[in-house]
Amino acid sequence: GEPRLNAISFTPMPPGDVSAANLTPFDTIVLNMASYAMACSSDTLTDAQKQAIVDAVAAGKKLIIYDSECYPGPDYSWLPFPFSTNNPGAMGASGTLTIVEENTLSSSDPVSSYFIDAAYLGFWTDAVGDMNVMVTFDPYWCIDMSGTNINQVTGPVHTYAKYPAGTDTGLIIYNGLDMDYMPNSALLEIWIQELEQSFNPSNLPCGVTVVGITLSPATDTNLVGESHTVTAKITDQLGNSVQGVDVDFEVLSGPNAGETGVDTTDASGEATFTYTGDGGTGTDVIQACFTNEAGQEVCSQTVEKVWTAETSVPEFPPLAVGVLGLLGAIVLIRKKA
pLDDT tens digit at each of 337 positions of the chain: 688 988 899 999 999 999 999 999 999 999 999 999 999 999 999 999 999 999 999 999 999 999 988 999 999 999 999 999 999 999 999 999 999 999 999 999 999 999 999 999 999 999 999 999 999 889 999 999 999 999 999 999 999 999 999 999 999 999 999 988 777 678 999 999 999 999 999 999 999 999 999 999 999 999 999 999 999 999 998 889 999 999 999 999 999 999 999 999 999 999 999 999 999 999 999 999 999 888 889 999 999 999 999 776 554 444 333 333 335 677 777 766 6
Closest to 255 measured CA to CA, from 209, 195, 308, 181: 308
Nearest to 31 by CA among 9, 57, 59, 5: 57
CATH 3.40.50.880-classified regions of the chain: 3-196
CA–CA gap between residue 297 and residue 28 (Å, rounded)? 36
Helices marked H in the chain — which ranges?
Answer: 20-23, 47-58, 118-124, 185-196
Q: Write down the pLDDT at residue 318.
A: 43
Provide the pLDDT for residue 310: 78
The answer to whether 147 touches 95, Cβ cutoff 8 Å, is yes
Q: What is d(CA 315, CA 264) in angstroms, rounded to the nearest whole number?
A: 47
Q: How far is CA 38 from CA 11, 48, 181, 183, 261, in A?
A: 16, 16, 21, 22, 48
3-state SS of 314-328? CCCCCHHHHHHHCCC
**Which one-letter amino acid corresponds to residue 23?**
L
Predicted local confidence at residue 319, as pLDDT: 38
Residue 15 main-chain phi, psi, to 5 deg: -55, -35
- Asked whether the bond before 74 is cis by omega within 30 degrees of 0, the reply is no
CA 50 to CA 164: how far, in whole Å? 16
Closest to 67 measured CA to CA, from 25, 109, 35, 23: 35
| C-alpha–C-alpha distance, residues 23 and 25, integer Å | 6
Q: With the CA atoms of 232, 236, 242 and 248 taken in that order, what torsion angle do they form, in degrees rounded to the nearest 10?
A: -40
Q: Strands across the sheet with 62-66, in order?
A: 8-13, 330-335, 28-32, 62-66, 170-175, 154-163, 141-148, 96-99
Three-state secondary-structure class, residue 180: coil
Contact 287, 274 (CB under 8 A): no
Separation between Cα atoms, residue 232 and residue 117, nearest integer Å: 30
What is the secondary structure of 21-45 as a DSSP string? HHHTT-SEEEEETTSTTTTT-GGGS
* Right CATH for 3-196 from 3.20.20.450, 3.40.630.30, 3.40.50.880, 3.60.9.10: 3.40.50.880
254 secondary structure, DSSP code: S
**Distance from C-alpha of 56 to C-alpha of 50, rounded to nearest angstrom:** 10
CATH 2.60.40.10 domain range(s) in the chain: 213-308
Report the C-alpha gap between 326 and 89 in whole angstroms.
Answer: 67
Q: Does domain 213-308 have CATH number 2.40.10.10?
A: no
* Whole-number pLDDT of residue 326: 38
Peptide bond into 72 cis (omega under 30): yes
Q: What is the pLDDT of residue 337?
A: 61
